């Protein structure tokens, strides 16, 4: 620097007023309630919407009790609210509530409703599930079927076990989803997780009972209606029925509808079903991304490998 050069005046960093960051919004929602409505609108399953709506309502209430909203809550606030969702619940249930809350927060951030995704900083501790303890034997499934209180309930257990269906998939079945196939079998079209459609072929012995139960019901009618008529059963009603049948038959009282699905997978594999057929029949996802697009091949349904003696009257 020469003598004639004058040093450039430096502006102190502290003197520069930072401009506040503003998220670019991609939603018309202006309140937390409106954002939740937008979030739920993207879910196709009524049962899923109901579960997520209940969790979101509780989550927002826990924040509101502290005078907070999604936009004003800190990471610590969100963590404490998520912990509050699971108070008194089993570890697996706590994990589900936490994942739903985190999903809402991710949606809010993705759409620019909030500046920061506080849920991303919250670690979810999942519950450990011993699947081996949730698999009923073939004898227990047979006893459960025979202890069903009504013909409808017996058929529901048979279809749930033979098709390896989730309880939400089971109660959502309409007669338009039931298609007669060759050899006395029926194919049921099932809308599973992620709104993925798969087709499951049922054994002939179950198919005959299913078709015989229809009567003059229209295509739009639920396959398993509630006693109120026209409305499908609720999952909790199915589980209450199963526990009553379990108590009557002496089967493990902890049984739930999901045990039928576990039993299907275990029993069909034991009897020689191809693991790929089992995965596709149950709609299981795989590590490979493309596996979510796989659908069951009705000609090779793993349900056909089950012992038909279980269903005989």
Catalytic residue among 58, 191, 284, 295: 284
Query: Which strand (E) or helix (H) includes residue 144?
Result: helix 138-146
Cα 116 from chain centre:
27
Q: 273 and 302 in contact (C-beta within 8 Å)? A: yes
Catalytic residue among 193, 196, 208, 243: 193
> Distance (Å, rounded) from C-alpha 127 to C-alpha 97?
12
DSSP tag of 173: -
Q: Is 166 noted as a catalytic residue in this protein?
A: yes
Catalytic residue among 94, 199, 261, 305: 261
Q: Is 193 noted as a catalytic residue in this protein?
A: yes
Q: Is 113 noted as a catalytic residue in this protein?
A: no
Q: Is 208 noted as a catalytic residue in this protein?
A: no
Catalytic residue among 94, 102, 109, 166: 166
Q: Is 100 noted as a catalytic residue in this protein?
A: no
Q: Could you tell me which residues come within 8 angstroms of residue 80 by beta carbon, excluding any fewer than 6 positions away?
A: 62
Q: Is 109 noted as a catalytic residue in this protein?
A: no
E runs forming strands in the chain: 178-180, 186-191, 197-201
Q: 190 and 200 in contact (C-beta within 8 Å)? A: yes
Q: What is the number of residues in the chain? A: 313
Angstrom CA distances, 179 to 157, 173, 174, 230, 275, stand at 19, 12, 11, 21, 25
Catalytic residue among 134, 181, 258, 279: 258
Q: Give me the torsion for CA of 89, 93, 94, 95, rounded to 10°.
A: 160
> Distance (Å, rounded) from C-alpha 234 to C-alpha 144?
19
Query: Which residues are known to be catalytic?
Result: 166, 193, 258, 261, 284, 293
């Amino acid at each position: 620097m020469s003598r004639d050069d004058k040093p450039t005046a430096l502006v102190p960093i502290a003197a520069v007023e930072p401009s506040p960051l503003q998220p670019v919004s991609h939603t018309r929602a202006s309140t937390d309630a409106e954002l939740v409505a937008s979030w739920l609108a993207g879910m196709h399953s009524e049962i899923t919407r109901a579960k997520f709506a209940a969790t979101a309502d509780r989550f927002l209430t826990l924040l509101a009790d502290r005078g907070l909203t999604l936009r004003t809550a800190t990471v610590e606030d969100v963590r404490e609210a998520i912990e509050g969702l699971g108070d008194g619940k089993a570890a697996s249930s706590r994990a589900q509530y936490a994942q739903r809350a985190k999903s809402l927060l991710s949606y809010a951030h993705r759409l620019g409703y909030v500046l920061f995704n506080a849920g991303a900083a919250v670690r979810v501790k999942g519950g450990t599930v011993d699947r081996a303890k949730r698999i009923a034997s073939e004898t227990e499934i047979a006893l459960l079927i025979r202890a069903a209180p009504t013909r409808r309930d017996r058929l529901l257990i048979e279809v749930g076990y033979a098709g390896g269906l989730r309880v939400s998939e089971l109660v959502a079945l309409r007669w338009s989803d039931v298609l007669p196939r060759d050899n006395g079998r029926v194919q049921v079209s099932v809308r599973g997780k992620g709104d993925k459609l798969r087709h499951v072929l049922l054994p002939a012995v179950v198919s005959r009972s299913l078709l015989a139960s229809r009567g003059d019901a229209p295509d739009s009618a639920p396959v398993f209606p509630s006693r109120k008529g026209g409305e499908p059963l609720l999952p909790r009603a199915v589980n209450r029925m199963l526990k009553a049948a379990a108590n009557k038959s002496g089967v493990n009282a902890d049984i739930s509808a999901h045990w039928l699905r576990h039993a299907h997978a275990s029993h069909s594999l034991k009897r020689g079903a191809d693991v790929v057929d089992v995965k596709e029949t149950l709609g299981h996802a795989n590590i490979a991304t493309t596996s979510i697009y796989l659908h069951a091949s009705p000609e090779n349904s793993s349900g056909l490998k089950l012992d038909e003696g279980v269903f005989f009257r």
